[in-house]
Amino acid sequence: MYLNCKSFFSLRYGTIDTKDLVRMAREAGVTSLALTNINITSDTWNFVKECQEQGIKPIIGLECRNGHQLKYILLARDMEGWFYINRFLSDHLHKEIPFPDRAPAFPGIFAIYAWGTIPLHDLQRHELVGIRRREINKLFRVDTLSYPDKLVMLQPVTFQDADHYQLHRVLRAIDQNILISQLQDYTTAQPDEQFLPPAVLFDSFEQYPHIISNTVRVMNACRVDFNFKTPRNKKHFTNSETEDHALLRQLAYDGMLKRYGPDNAEAKARIEKELGVVREQHFDCYFLITWDIIRYAQERGFFYVGRGSGANSIIAYCLKITDVDPIELNLYFERFLNPYRSSPPDFDIDFSWKDRDEIIDYVFRKYGNVHTALLGTVTTFQQNATIRELGKVYGLPKHEIDKILDTPFNPDLTGDHVQRNILRYSQLMSGAKAFPNHLSIHAGGILISEAPIHQHCATYMPPKGFSTAQLDMHQAEAIGLFKFDILSQRGLGHIRDAIGIIKENKGVDIDIHDVKTFMRDPRVQHELKTVNTIGCFYIESPAMRQLLQKLQCEDYLTLVAASSVIRPGVAQSGMMRQYVHNYRNQDKVVYMHEIIKQVLSETFGIMVYQEDVIKIVHEYADMDLADADILRRAMAGKYRGQGQFQKIEQQFFSNCKRLGRPDDVTQELWRQIASFSGFSFSKAHSASFAVESYQSLFLKTYFPAEFMVAVINNFGGFYNRELYFRELYKTGVTIKAPCINNSTYHTRITGDIVYTGFIHIEGLEEKWMEAVLEERTLYGPFENLEDFVARIAPPPEQLDILIRIGAFNFDKHTKKELLWKSSLLLKKRGPHAEHIQPLFREQVPECALPMLSYHDHEHAFEEIALLGFPLCSPFDILQHDQREYIPARHFKAHKNKVISTLGYLVCTKGIYTSKGVPMSFGTFMDVNGDFIDTVHFPDILKQYPFQKGGFYILQGKVTEEYDVYSIEVSYMRKIGYFEDN
């Protein structure tokens, strides 16, 4: 009888989780149930699967609303009807047009209208009118028997009970951004929209048995024929699976010749092994589509990095999908693909953020909009943001909301009814079953389906401009649609741009894929060992630099391990510290068990990669690859809370007990395994990151200035842009302020001179500056300020910014004189002067200017005001005696001593202790440009908190761990540029 049920995927409207909806229906004795969310289909397949598991017949549909106005409810009689419903909704969302007053007569659908919205005599074959319990008394005025097949019972379900009705009202107020007291009844559901026992509904309609029977007829007519085990990705790249496999084989062997030569027996054997599994698993097309994307990128000259577990594959290496040699690294093939794996191998292809949209556009053009969509994702309500939204709904001022956030469970607040409601509703909305808030786009997933996408879901058109599925990754995988990951990262933008800048400035062509040469290069090895890695992908953060120092890393395999061991799962479990100890004491490693020595000798007895976990459960606990695949998905964060992980845990301990393994070893191994969940890398993934790190490091080693300009133009990496300008300064180039005749919008280098880009100037309008640069391109450089004003007619505030930053430093006048002069020139030109290029340049007479004073470093403070930092070293303008402070390069001589040092704050990282108390790590730069790493324990951090950027006097004990020196801060004080600050 329930033809109009909503889950909380009716965004900011429904309050019921999908599983709870089906459970409540079963408990109420319901045998057929329809899900009709408002203008969204995202929850459909979760609903269908849950119904099938609970023995309830699922009916799928849609509630169509224009704003607050219900137009009709659409039910799919079959899968053809579902396709039309999805296409209809998608057309509405893409074009941003209202739903028509009457539902189109699509094949395979029912359309249900609310009572009184459409004349009964005007109903078409597919149209019905729903009667709610409170509307039954209105039927006395109508000859219902004349319409025996047009009236149905309608009992909407929106919330669980009266309490959740109030939550529904809160959601409606949040959606409209109004006080809850301002809610209008027409914008909310009716208070009775909840489950009732079927007997109660039947009793309500006992005088109208034909309405009951017609409702049953409609429900019986609807069916969902759907097999969750059927693959739904595009089946063939060519015309058939046989042709696909032949093409993949040819490409693999062609690539093997280039990668390994013609006579590598090990490579041939591995290719044959992989080809067999790929064919058995029907993944040829998946490989070929990925290869085709790479082929297009290569044709366009786009730089990319292939990573993910697919990098375990020699076929992927031969097809140049990845640059990771699985033979060299002894990569575990079963992590990549095995007969028990439930989803295709995971290829993550990273492109520069500047190139990715063209790659996505190519995929859409190649496979068509009908079969292609970006993967969606669901953003849920988060606790703090939810409390703020609820506070606004209840009309609380900001300071009271802040108080609730600071002390959410303060007993002093429990007497306040409003604040109690805010805390209670926030826990419901953002707790374990967090409510969906809005749809968004997955970071890089693209779906390419064999059937039209609309057979599976609706799509919408976000600002990005590509059709996006109303499915998240988990639902897509559940129905057999597996994504292709086309991602972007700024690290690749650095590399892409650096290659172009090097070609332009040095005339040198770089083969950036010659990674093995980079790995063997002594200068690159030296830069890695000395941790000169600022700007280099993944190896520039303070934590990574310290780890590389501790490992004395100078080779590829160690870097691969470091790229994984630093991940939270390994690091937080204590295994990173143990790995460093074992690495530095390789001849003293003690293995917990002989099997561990056999399996983990490469990583000195420590589980570093996901593959290590799979090997341990297989070799130590005798678990098969099907169980290992569940563990793999758990380590990716996909199975926690779903029961599978707990079953694997039970089996692990059961098997170990049966095999007679020592209890203490078993317990410790499982502790390490559990820590991997959601926070670990496969070895192939780490290797892919390490390849990109080497590419960055090679460019920085041989072309440091050009590389750093590329980093700056891609808006940095881990650090803010100031540090990258500091690194650029250390390369020995001359850094010029933005110049009206030599700078471009982005920073550029010519020879050994770098011109800072206009993009870095605070308050400078981009469109206006682009017009200035176009003027310069068309008519040549500006002779002086007078020429600029005559040709541009600049807004006074924009001209003021340019003069202050030094854009007219080529003029013979000082900045202060130029500011006076600009005022006189603009006044003479008038406020409404047009930008017209004169036929002849007018000679402007010199203006009489007063004598103006000028103090040292004035230009640097203007740069701080407009750029956020000085282009010189900040220590150059610090008016403070620096002689008493010990620089970082002398810390070794003061080990375990309390010292004072002076640092310029680079970054901080706050963490919480095991007791939940905040502490912090700091990174500072000293006068020599060396880094100072600091530790701020809770009491010290509370007493001496950070006060944003600038100079700090630091006192504390110098500590050392594996040749890495840091200061345990006991005192900290921020100082200004001048002595009296």
SS3 of residue 606 by DSSP: coil
Of 708, 735, 704, 730, nearest in space to 871 by CA = 735
The CA distances from residue 856 to 25, 277, 443, 725, 872, in Å, are 78, 72, 49, 22, 13
pLDDT for 311 equals 84
In angstroms, the CA 359 to CA 355 distance is: 7
Burial of 827 (0-12, 13-18, 19+ CB in 10 A): exposed
Of 446, 438, 463, nearest in space to 382 by CA = 438
Q: Where are the domains of the chain?
A: 2-221, 241-378+441-490, 382-434, 513-691, 733-867, 879-975
Phi-psi region of 732 (alpha: psi -120 to 50; beta: other; left: phi over 0): left
**What residues have CB less than 8 Å from 859, skipping those under 6 apart?**
737, 806, 815
Residues 641 and 575: beta-carbon distance below 8 Å: no
Beta strands in 77-235 (DSSP E): 109-114, 127-131, 151-153
In angstroms, the CA 432 to CA 436 distance is: 12
Q: What is the tens place of the pLDDT at every residue in 523-542?
A: 999 999 999 999 999 999 99
SS3 of residue 442 by DSSP: strand
Residues 206 and 257: beta-carbon distance below 8 Å: no
Helices (H) and strands (E) in the chain, counts: 37, 22
> Residue 423: CA atoms inside 13 Å, Cβ hemisphere, count?
19
In angstroms, the CA 6 to CA 25 distance is: 12
| DSSP symbol at 38 | B
Both tokens assigned to 924: 């500072």
pLDDT for 411 equals 44
pLDDT for 812 equals 81
What radius of gyration, in Å, describes the C-alpha atoms of the chain?
A: 33
In angstroms, the CA 405 to CA 402 distance is: 5
Estimate the crossing angle of helix 556-565 against helix 683-702, to 10 degrees.
120
Residues 537 and 494: beta-carbon distance below 8 Å: yes
Both tokens assigned to 689: 């990151």
For domain 241-378+441-490, say whether CATH 3.10.20.30 is its number.
no
Q: What is the largest CA-CA distance in the chain?
A: 101
Both tokens assigned to 355: 């190139």
pLDDT for 570 equals 73
Cβ-count burial 550-588 (b if 16+ within 10 Å, e if not): bbebbebbbbbbbbbbbbebbbebebbbbbbebbeeeee
For domain 879-975, say whether CATH 2.40.50.140 is its number.
yes
Range 16-24, long-range pairs (CB < 8 A, 24+ positions): 16/157, 16/158, 16/159, 16/160, 16/164, 17/433, 18/43, 18/46, 18/47, 18/50, 19/50, 20/160, 20/433, 21/47, 21/157, 22/47, 22/50, 22/51, 22/54, 22/56, 23/54, 24/160, 24/195
In angstroms, the CA 172 to CA 10 distance is: 11
Of 178, 180, 161, 160, nearest in space to 170 by CA = 180
> Residue 109: CA atoms inside 13 Å, Cβ hemisphere, count?
26
Both tokens assigned to 75: 């039910």
Both tokens assigned to 870: 């000085």
Of 208, 230, 17, nearest in space to 129 by CA = 208
φ, ψ (nearest 5 deg) of residue 412: -65, -20
**What residues have CB less than 8 Å from 425, skipping those under 6 apart?**
167, 170, 386, 390
Residues 61 and 35: beta-carbon distance below 8 Å: yes
Both tokens assigned to 587: 């001849």
In angstroms, the CA 862 to CA 803 distance is: 10
CA 46 to chain centre: 24
Residues 219 and 3: beta-carbon distance below 8 Å: yes
pLDDT for 844 equals 52
pLDDT for 981 equals 45
φ, ψ (nearest 5 deg) of residue 793: 55, 60
pLDDT for 640 equals 46
| Residue owning tokens 């919205």 | 117
CATH superfamily of 2-221: Metal-dependent hydrolases (3.20.20.140)
Alpha helices per DSSP H over 124-260? 162-176, 198-204, 209-221, 241-259
pLDDT beneath 50: ranges in the chain: 411, 413, 640-641, 980-981
pLDDT for 730 equals 94
| Residue owning tokens 């600038």 | 950
In angstroms, the CA 563 to CA 547 distance is: 10
User: What are the beta bridge partners of residue 379?
Assistant: 438
| Residue owning tokens 């209202």 | 98
The CA distances from residue 152 to 38, 404, 661, 725, in Å, are 20, 48, 65, 71
Both tokens assigned to 176: 């409209």
